[in-house]
Amino acid sequence: MEKILNVAVVGLGRAGWQIHIPRIMAHKGFKLSGVVDPLDERRKEARLHLGVAAFESLEKLFEQQNPDVVVIVSPTHFHKEQSLLAFRHGADVLCDKPMAVTLDEAREMVEAMHARSRKMMIFQPHRAHVETVALRALLREDLLGPVFMIKRRWSRYRVRVDWQAFARYGGGELNNSGAHFVDQLLYLSASPVKKIHCLRRRVLSRGDAEDFAKIIMETENGMILDVEVNFATAIAPPAMQVFGERGTMVLDEEHGLWRARYYDKGGADAIRLQEGLAAENRSYMDDQQLPWKEKNYPLSAFSSIDFYDKCYEHFALNQPAFIPPGESLEVMRILDVCKKRFGLE
Ligand SMILES: NC(=O)c1ccc[n+]([C@@H]2O[C@H](COP(=O)([O-])OP(=O)(O)OC[C@H]3O[C@@H](n4cnc5c(N)ncnc54)[C@H](O)[C@@H]3O)[C@@H](O)[C@H]2O)c1
Q: What is the pLDDT of residue 284?
A: 77
Where b means 16+ CB within 10 Å and e means fewer, 241-270 reads: bbbbebbebbbbeeeebbbbebbeeebeee
Which ranges in the chain are annotated with CATH 3.40.50.720? 5-123+306-334
Determine whether the shortest distance from the Cβ of 214 to ligand 1 is under 6 A. Answer: no
Fold of 127-304: Dihydrodipicolinate Reductase; domain 2 (3.30.360)
Determine whether the shortest distance from the Cβ of 83 to ligand 1 is under 6 A. Answer: no
Q: How far is the CA of 334 from the centre of ligand 1 (A)?
A: 23
Ramachandran quadrant class, 188 (left: phi over 0; alpha: psi -120 to 50; beta: rest): alpha
Length of the chain: 345
Ramachandran quadrant class, 43 (left: phi over 0; alpha: psi -120 to 50; beta: rest): alpha
- In CATH terms, 5-123+306-334 corresponds, of 3.30.428.10, 3.30.420.40, 3.40.50.720, 3.40.630.30, to 3.40.50.720
Q: What is the pLDDT of residue 287?
A: 66
Determine whether the shortest distance from the Cβ of 73 to ligand 1 is under 6 A. Answer: yes
Render each residue's pLDDT in the chain as its tens digit; 345 residues: 689 999 999 999 999 999 999 999 999 999 999 999 999 999 999 999 999 999 999 999 999 999 999 999 999 999 999 999 999 999 999 999 999 999 999 999 999 999 999 999 999 999 999 999 999 999 999 999 999 999 999 999 999 999 999 999 989 999 999 999 999 999 999 999 999 999 999 999 999 999 999 999 999 999 999 999 999 999 999 999 999 999 999 999 999 999 999 999 999 998 888 899 998 888 877 667 899 999 999 999 999 999 999 999 999 999 999 999 999 999 999 999 999 988 886
Determine whether the shortest distance from the Cβ of 176 to ligand 1 is under 6 A. Answer: yes
Determine whether the shortest distance from the Cβ of 183 to ligand 1 is under 6 A. Answer: no
Strand 147-155 and strand 240-244: pairing?
Answer: antiparallel
Q: Whose CA is nearest to atom 11 of ligand 1?
A: 73
Per DSSP, 245 falls in state T
Q: How far is the CA of 331 from the centre of ligand 1 (A)?
A: 20
Which ranges in the chain are annotated with CATH 3.30.360.10? 127-304
Q: What is the pLDDT of residue 344?
A: 82
Q: H-helix or E-strand containing 221?
A: none
